[in-house]
Amino acid sequence: MPPEVNREPENRIPTGMTVYDSDGQYTRLVVVNHPDESCEEFEVPGTGKTVAEYNEDYDPTGPVVQTVYRFKLDQELDDWMSLPLDDIHSAAQDVGLKTYSYPARRMKSSFSHIPERVGTYRELFCYQWARMTHLSASVNQPERLQDFLLWSNYEKRLDGEITTSSILKENQYQLKENLGVCTYCNQESETTFDHILPVAEGGVSEIKNMVPACQSCNSSKSDRNLLDWHQEHEIPMDRVVLGKYLKLRWDEFEADGELDSPVPDSIRDRWEGLEVSRRITQQIWMNQNR
């Protein structure tokens, strides 16, 4: 019996999304198809080899995505954004565009790439904040509009037109109820509060620096840097956690007069490719509306 491909919604990259290969150079690709076969089953067209045979480190049971270069798609099929998502693949084939097959886990949202124009800590925090807010505002919106919304929010935050509340709304909900879900891994579990910024690094034992976490994640993260831990475990950071983290870091850098200092490459690397989700936010919303 062939292995079951993991098709959970949070692990499936939407068709039509602009992504980049996390193992290669930053080149924008567009996801056009999700083959039903796993990496060890799907044969890359014209090669006689499966996706898994290209690299022994690939998860043989993982899902595959087929992509095309974004710039080629824009050149040869300039109306592709108006097409039904299920038609993009066949339309790309009709105009002779080559598809490239990858393990889905190698693909990262193009918004998780840190643009060159983001050079200071102020700009970095504003960009990540814009990603966080645009995540919910752009649901079911065309990608071109998503891009506009993100940069519009970025500019407004950078110019001070939009400010961060001293008490995030997620904090208020967490004070009222325990969702019974780990904020890090999204698994149902008994939870205890974990410090986003570890106490060992000066983190305070206040709700602004704490989130419910299962025992496994709490122990695993321990005093680790939040970004390093998420990247190592390849877990998207929920916007609840990201919102708190950005507020804490903003206040810290503002107090030290470092917001306009350039971001070192080592710090950019920590943020590069970080995926953001809104799973816990959705659960908070559902609990409110029961």
Give residue-wise pLDDT tens across range 145-186: 567 778 888 898 898 887 766 445 555 555 444 567 888 888
Q: Are residues 102 and 158 in the same domain?
A: no
Whole-number pLDDT of residue 176:
45
Would 69 be classed as within a structural domain?
yes
Whole-number pLDDT of residue 5:
37
Q: Are residues 182 and 223 in the same domain?
A: yes
Phi, psi of 197 (to 5 degrees): -95, 115
Whole-number pLDDT of residue 197:
94
Would 172 be classed as within a structural domain?
yes
| Domain assignment of residue 190, given as a range | 114-288
Structural domains of the chain, count: 2
Would 1 be classed as within a structural domain?
no
Q: Which of 90, 111, 132 is the last residue of a domain?
A: 111
pTM (2 decimals)?
Answer: 0.70
CATH number at residue 24: 2.170.260
Q: Are residues 130 and 102 in the same domain?
A: no
Q: Report H helices in the chain.
A: 70-76, 88-94, 121-137, 143-158, 169-176, 215-221, 226-233, 239-255, 265-271, 279-288
Q: Are residues 107 and 160 in the same domain?
A: no
Q: Are residues 131 and 67 in the same domain?
A: no
Under-70 pLDDT residues of the chain: 1-12, 134-146, 164-179, 279-290
Whole-number pLDDT of residue 257:
97
Q: Are residues 96 and 146 in the same domain?
A: no
Instruction: Tell me the helix, strand and coil percentages in the chain, rounded to 5.
Output: 45, 15, 40
Would 101 be classed as within a structural domain?
yes
Whole-number pLDDT of residue 2:
34
Residues 228, 99: Cα–Cα separation, whole Å = 33
Q: Are residues 129 and 201 in the same domain?
A: yes
CB neighbour burial string for 158-183, b if at least 16 within 10 angstroms, e if fewer:
beeebeeeeebebbebbeeeebebbb
Q: Are residues 106 and 205 in the same domain?
A: no
Would 4 be classed as within a structural domain?
no
Whole-number pLDDT of residue 181:
83
Q: Are residues 102 and 133 in the same domain?
A: no
Strands 237-238 and 100-103: unpaired
Q: Are residues 62 and 131 in the same domain?
A: no
Q: Which of 59, 80, 111 is the last residue of a domain?
A: 111
Strands 100-103 and 64-69: antiparallel
Whole-number pLDDT of residue 168:
57
Q: Are residues 88 and 168 in the same domain?
A: no
Q: Which of 72, 92, 111 is the last residue of a domain?
A: 111
The token pair at 35 is 């083959």
Q: Are residues 126 and 44 in the same domain?
A: no
Would 166 be classed as within a structural domain?
yes
Would 2 be classed as within a structural domain?
no
